[in-house]
Structure 1
Amino acid sequence: MDRLIHIVLIAFIVSFQQISFAQKNNTASELDEIDKKLNESIYISTNANSFLTGETLLYKIFCIEKSTNIASKYSKIAYLQLVDSNKKTVFVHKLFLENGTANSDYFIPTTLETGNYKLIGYTNWMLNKKAVEYFDLDIYIVNPYKEKSTNIISQKESNPSENITNENISFDLKSKTYSNRDLIHFKITTTSEEFKQGNYSVSVRKADGFLSQKKTNFNDLKTNRNSTTDINNTEFSLPELRGEIISGKISATSAEVKNKKIALSIVGKNNILKLTKTDAEGKFIFNLEKSNSGSNIVVQIIEDNKQDYSIEIDKTKNIDFSNLTFPSLQFNSEFKQNISERLISSQIENAYYSIKKDSILASTDTVPFYNKLSTEFKLDLFTRFPTMEETITEVVKGVVFAKNKNNYSIHVYDYDPNYESELPALIVVDGLIIEDLKELFAYSPKNIHKINVVKGIYYYGAKSFNGIVAFTTKNGDYETKLKGNFILRPELLKPQSKKEYFQPDYANNKNERIPDYRHQLLWLPKVDLNNPESDLKFYASDVSGKYEIILEGFSANGKAVFIKEIIDIKDSNLN
């Protein structure tokens, strides 16, 4: 029944998107009904609440149903901002959600002042309240290179060595005392299927004793969550239910703006190509189902009279932070020693960044939009020719070109020798549609890695073609020389890339001679408790002291979980 309700709701929302795009306004009751069904909220888990310049803020976002805390099935995109005490945005991250969660990080630069900050989390739909909804979390940043004494209060927090337990889930530690660079391993145990199927993050970090995390329950945190469904029905953001939404509008002095074809290309080796049509007002929407962090983005009008049009991309919605309040920064004299120790540690760790850097995970979605329908010609397997004309003629079977004065055209033969369509072929280079073929034929084929050919009538987006000829360059860096108001290279917010965080390996004396001054020993944004045999393993660093092992998240039924246990790492030279 839940799956049926989910399908019906999705159909309803997609229908709503189409209707709302064709109209300027929707009734408040219609929008309120949708808001009741989406019912989303955001929760953010971090590796710490206080950071120094040179350290890394690690975080995980949970998109949950507001009333139950169960992972939301609806929005596929979440946003995170860091806002300073002047209520100005430091950065914005866009994240693709998987099963309602996503994670990323932010390196604290020297440009930030010492002070209080807020992490703000939201989805597009949460911005539609007249009193905007978002999640906010206090973050403290200390920049020892820029002195700032305001808002400093001599106040120490509660004892960081206090463990926090939960009767349903716990850590199974073989020992609570270790030496530098010891291998530490433990299990997370639970007999409850509900907690076994939960969604959690694990952090192991040196306790600072003054600004350590105090979160014990999602409901205890300050959350800007309205209890009413008061939707702004004059200007609202579409819920991103299938992926990232990129929208815009075309305009013209006298030409018709309805049903005009628009193409979006993310140019590169792992490229994306989307086609759509404008509505009666010249508006258009692209929906990107997969994450792509490419920066070479081109949006263009695909029409014979495209010179008659101008194109623009919608700007992101500004959030009203006027209601944000910032607590006073809380330190005391003992914290100076903590700052000095952490500052030295971060400097040493950053000096060895090239050896210890995290790995950006490559996208596994490398199938082009035409899927596996094509015949592929890798040019290195053939004799290389100096011109594009010779390359197409001698290498690419089933494709011919014609030249009329300075104008070129490309034709793809159909599977049926008795049928030839008058439709043009779709010509693509690194995901970019090329209509003026003069620049393609002036391009050196030595830079081309492969050519893929699809025969037959091909329907894609709002247009049909007589076959496809897709060129892929060696570096995925094709740049068109086309200019005009009909083509745009917008600077859009890119989704965050997935990472695998660095972990040293001291087995067989590997990395033995490299200094290890990590205060963050482990960060696992996704923990799988389904395998009862799996241990969490990591190595202690050269920094002695008390470390907090924290597990945070939600059970499968939405129960908030926060457990903490303290381990002690001793100086191995004193043993």
Structure 2
Amino acid sequence: MDRLKYILLVALAISLQQSSFAQKTNSITELNEIDKTLNESLYISTNANAYLTGETLLYKVFCIDKSTNQVSKYSKIAYLQLIDSNKKTVFTHKLFLEDGTANSDFFIPTTLETGNYKLIGYTNWMLNKRAAEYCNIDLYIVNPYKEKVTNTISQKESNLSENATDENISFDLTSKTYTNRDLIAFKIKTNSDDFTKGNYSLSIKKADGFLSQNKTNFKELQISNLNKNSDNAIHNTNYILPELRGEIISGKISSASSDTKNKKVALSIVGKNYVLKLTKTDAESRFIFNLGKSNTGSNLVVQIIEDNKQDYTIEIDKPKDLDFSSLTFPTLSFNSEFKQNISERLIASQIENAYYNIKKDSILSSNDTIPFYSNLSKEYKLDDYTRFPTVQETITEVVYGTYYTKNKNNYAIHVYDFDQNYESELPPLIIVDGLIIEDLNELFAYNPKNIYKINVVKGIYYYGSKSFNGVVAFTTKNGDYETKLKGSFIIRPELLRPQSKKEYFSPDYATPKNARIPDYRHQLLWLPKVDLSAADSKIKFYASDVSGKFEIILEGFSSTGKPVFIKEIIDIKGSSLN
């Protein structure tokens, strides 16, 4: 697609987000024109297709443009659900897509029953189709704590030890035999830039699955997607908006006595790395917020920013329930070694979970910690100054360029303009941990010992649909400010939040730090993002104390959308010191 056409179609789709939610009879044609561009599929790569409770499901999703088979430029949010055989949802994850991909994990609790499960993946736009467009992957979970797997289950021979090759990309292994706790290093060779610049996940795991069926690979999924019903147009004007610029949070306000059009609404994700958004309701009394960057904070506040806010009620849109009525769960067969494999994995997972605090994964902090006012502010970290017992004294003695007034027991904060002989009649924007505070009496009753810093922006400041005479932003030490305001005009919705990014644990035996800690990892390495751009780069990891055959699996897409699935088997033997 040429760049101009791409820009025009994206602009048309985004305009639907920014415009009224009104239902128009001519919008169906527009929706189906957009759908020709937003022709997406999701592919899900997992580290296995069968799990025990107490193990971790690791996964990566790829959002693919079906017309080009390349990663999609459009949807920025994907969703993943685990569904049990009763078609009930076990979990739902929301994922921010970067370059069309995202990854996360799920620790499988012992509350789950033994049985068949489905991993479902989709974007918001896919939910507008008449037929099911979502990706679904079959998984099997065994709960050895609740029931024993008996001999009555059908058994078939498996081919777990078979390699899978691709003439375009391969593993460059110096050896295929190692001993426990060896440092293992290898390269991934490609024959063209198309595969060097691809997008892949890498899993290195013991080949001890207990199902005779192999994990479905992307080539098989691609064939399945091509065989789906192509006549799947949108027929309903009550459509779900595509999340083209990030996470969408939307809703509606109502009032028995006041006009609900063109009213200001604020969204705050309260915390140290807060988010603050301002918008207005449209002609249908609806509002929409677009969050362009991931924020996993769960302390959300939505409030009306109007003088007569008590007249209004806020309601947040609920996510659409997926129709799982057509889902079918296949009959799965166990391999001949399933009892031994389950027993060994159960013991290993119990040992690994016992050392969780030593081996836990790291949550990666967000790189985007710059507030909405950027570097325009003067910052006052209160520990750098004499601490005062009240907010009043703190503002007077520490925060240059501001002052407070008190009129009929009501407090106000004022910000000096750059020209101190001029002061706008507009009030400043006062926020605490990202929460807009209009009634300052509760702020002035707050203990300033809990305040970490205060940032001041001078001059007229335009934000969202409103202008202010400066900004005064308070940040507490714990990022946990709670307003005392209550009413239907301010709500704290419990909404699904995006998954956090992680760096997955991998031991380093080059130092004696972990030498005495048992290592019963069956999953030796999980790299959700493999970079092949450097010619001399190597994949490095340590073997564990577990011996046997291990699978090295690389899965993903080349830069032009060719599906890749390669597998190599290595053998790890017991050390002579054991």
Which TM-score bucket, shorter chain as reference? over 0.9
- 1:352-400, CA deviations, whole angstroms, 9 ceiling, x for partnerless residues? 0000000000001000011110011111111111011111111111111
Instruction: Flag the 1:218–1:470 CA change in 2: closer, same or farther, 3 A.
Output: farther
Residue 50 of structure 2 contacts residue 209 of structure 2 at CA under 8 Å; is this kept in 1?
Answer: no
Instruction: Flag the 1:438–1:320 CA change in 2: closer, same or farther, 3 A.
Output: same
Distance 1:254 1:553 in 2: 56
The residue that corresponds to 2:263 in the other structure is: 260
The residue that corresponds to 2:566 in the other structure is: 563
Q: What is the CA-CA distance between 1:88 and the residue it aligns to?
A: 0.6
SS in 2 for 1:518: coil
The residue that corresponds to 2:57 in the other structure is: 57
Give the letter for the 2:97 counterpart.
L
The residue that corresponds to 1:450 in the other structure is: 453
> Structure 2 length normalisation: TM-score?
0.97
Could you list the runs of 5+ residues in structure 1 that have no partner in the other structure? none
Instruction: Flag the 1:220–1:62 CA change in 2: closer, same or farther, 3 A.
Output: closer
Instruction: Flag the 1:214–1:43 CA change in 2: closer, same or farther, 3 A.
Output: closer
Residue 23 of structure 2 contacts residue 237 of structure 2 at CA under 8 Å; is this kept in 1?
Answer: no
Residue 172 of structure 1 contacts residue 187 of structure 1 at CA under 8 Å; is this kept in 2?
Answer: yes
Give the letter for the 2:191 counterpart.
T
Q: What is the CA-CA distance between 1:256 and the residue it aligns to?
A: 0.2
Residue 20 of structure 1 contacts residue 26 of structure 1 at CA under 8 Å; is this kept in 2?
Answer: no
The residue that corresponds to 2:298 in the other structure is: 295
The residue that corresponds to 1:360 in the other structure is: 363
Distance 2:16 2:487 in 1: 34
- 1:155-207, CA deviations, whole angstroms, 9 ceiling, x for partnerless residues? 22432111110000000000000001111110000121101110000000011
Q: What is the CA-CA distance between 1:66 and the residue it aligns to?
A: 1.3
Instruction: Flag the 1:158–1:331 CA change in 2: closer, same or farther, 3 A.
Output: closer
Superposed, 1:387-406 pairs within 5 Å as 387-406=390-409
Distance 1:52 1:222 in 2: 28
Superposed, 1:180-259 pairs within 5 Å as 180-211=180-211, 212-215=214-217, 217-219=219-221, 222-223=224-225, 225-259=228-262
Give the letter for the 2:123 counterpart.
T
Instruction: Flag the 1:222–1:339 CA change in 2: closer, same or farther, 3 A.
Output: farther
Distance 1:157 1:221 in 2: 25
Give the letter for the 1:367 counterpart.
I
The residue that corresponds to 1:407 in the other structure is: 410
Match of 2:311 among 302, 308, 311: 308
Instruction: Flag the 1:157–1:106 CA change in 2: closer, same or farther, 3 A.
Output: farther
Residue 157 of structure 1 contacts residue 209 of structure 1 at CA under 8 Å; is this kept in 2?
Answer: no
Residue 186 of structure 2 contacts residue 539 of structure 2 at CA under 8 Å; is this kept in 1?
Answer: yes
The residue that corresponds to 1:380 in the other structure is: 383
The residue that corresponds to 1:317 in the other structure is: 320
Give the letter for the 2:522 counterpart.
H
Distance 2:389 2:507 in 1: 49
Distance 2:209 2:110 in 1: 24
Give the letter for the 2:530 counterpart.
V
Q: What is the CA-CA distance between 1:324 and the residue it aligns to?
A: 0.5
Superposed, 1:14-163 pairs within 5 Å as 14-19=14-19, 21-23=21-23, 26-147=26-147, 153-163=153-163
Residue 203 of structure 1 contacts residue 523 of structure 1 at CA under 8 Å; is this kept in 2?
Answer: yes
Asked if 1:432 is matched to 2:435, the reply is: yes
Moved more, 345-354 or 417-426: 417-426
Asked if 1:522 is matched to 2:525, the reply is: yes
> Structure 1 length normalisation: TM-score?
0.97
- 1:259-298, CA deviations, whole angstroms, 9 ceiling, x for partnerless residues? 0000000000000000000011210000001111111110
Residue 157 of structure 2 contacts residue 335 of structure 2 at CA under 8 Å; is this kept in 1?
Answer: no
Distance 1:490 1:339 in 2: 42
SS in 2 for 1:347: helix
Give the letter for the 2:546 counterpart.
V
Give the letter for the 2:339 counterpart.
K
Q: What is the CA-CA distance between 1:420 and the residue it aligns to?
A: 1.7
Superposed, 1:330-341 pairs within 5 Å as 330-332=333-335, 334-341=337-344
SS in 1 for 2:117: strand
Asked if 1:271 is matched to 2:274, the reply is: yes
Instruction: Flag the 1:449–1:574 CA change in 2: closer, same or farther, 3 A.
Output: closer
Distance 1:342 1:67 in 2: 42
Q: What is the CA-CA distance between 1:4 and the residue it aligns to?
A: 3.1
Residue 49 of structure 2 contacts residue 139 of structure 2 at CA under 8 Å; is this kept in 1?
Answer: yes
Give the letter for the 2:257 counterpart.
S
SS in 2 for 1:336: helix
Q: What is the CA-CA distance between 1:430 and the residue it aligns to?
A: 0.3
Match of 1:502 among 501, 505, 517: 505
Instruction: Flag the 1:216–1:451 CA change in 2: closer, same or farther, 3 A.
Output: closer
Give the letter for the 1:142 counterpart.
V
Match of 1:467 among 426, 449, 470: 470
Distance 2:60 2:407 in 1: 58
Moved more, 21-30 or 170-179: 21-30
Distance 1:150 1:304 in 2: 68
Q: What is the CA-CA distance between 1:7 and the residue it aligns to?
A: 2.1
CA RMSD of aligned residues (A): 1.7
Asked if 1:573 is matched to 2:576, the reply is: yes
Give the letter for the 1:495 counterpart.
P
Give the letter for the 1:296 counterpart.
N
**Number of residues paired by the alignment?**
575
Give the letter for the 1:90 counterpart.
V
Instruction: Flag the 1:519–1:480 CA change in 2: closer, same or farther, 3 A.
Output: same
Distance 2:259 2:150 in 1: 59
SS in 2 for 1:217: helix
- 1:380-436, CA deviations, whole angstroms, 9 ceiling, x for partnerless residues? 111111011111111111111110122111111111234321111100000000001
Asked if 1:550 is matched to 2:553, the reply is: yes
SS in 2 for 1:340: helix
Residue 462 of structure 2 contacts residue 468 of structure 2 at CA under 8 Å; is this kept in 1?
Answer: yes
- 1:114-141, CA deviations, whole angstroms, 9 ceiling, x for partnerless residues? 0000000000000001223100000110
Give the letter for the 1:215 counterpart.
N
SS in 2 for 1:346: helix
- 1:69-92, CA deviations, whole angstroms, 9 ceiling, x for partnerless residues? 200000000000000001110000
Asked if 1:492 is matched to 2:495, the reply is: yes
SS in 2 for 1:154: coil
Match of 1:351 among 342, 354, 359: 354
Aligned-pair identity in percent equals: 76
- 1:310-364, CA deviations, whole angstroms, 9 ceiling, x for partnerless residues? 0010000000001100012322563111100000000000000000000000001
SS in 2 for 1:350: helix
Residue 137 of structure 2 contacts residue 216 of structure 2 at CA under 8 Å; is this kept in 1?
Answer: no
- 1:88-109, CA deviations, whole angstroms, 9 ceiling, x for partnerless residues? 1000000000000000000010
Instruction: Flag the 1:242–1:249 CA change in 2: closer, same or farther, 3 A.
Output: same
Moved more, 283-292 or 67-76: 67-76
Distance 2:106 2:90 in 1: 11
Distance 1:75 1:28 in 2: 20
Give the letter for the 1:207 counterpart.
A
Moved more, 55-64 or 325-334: 325-334
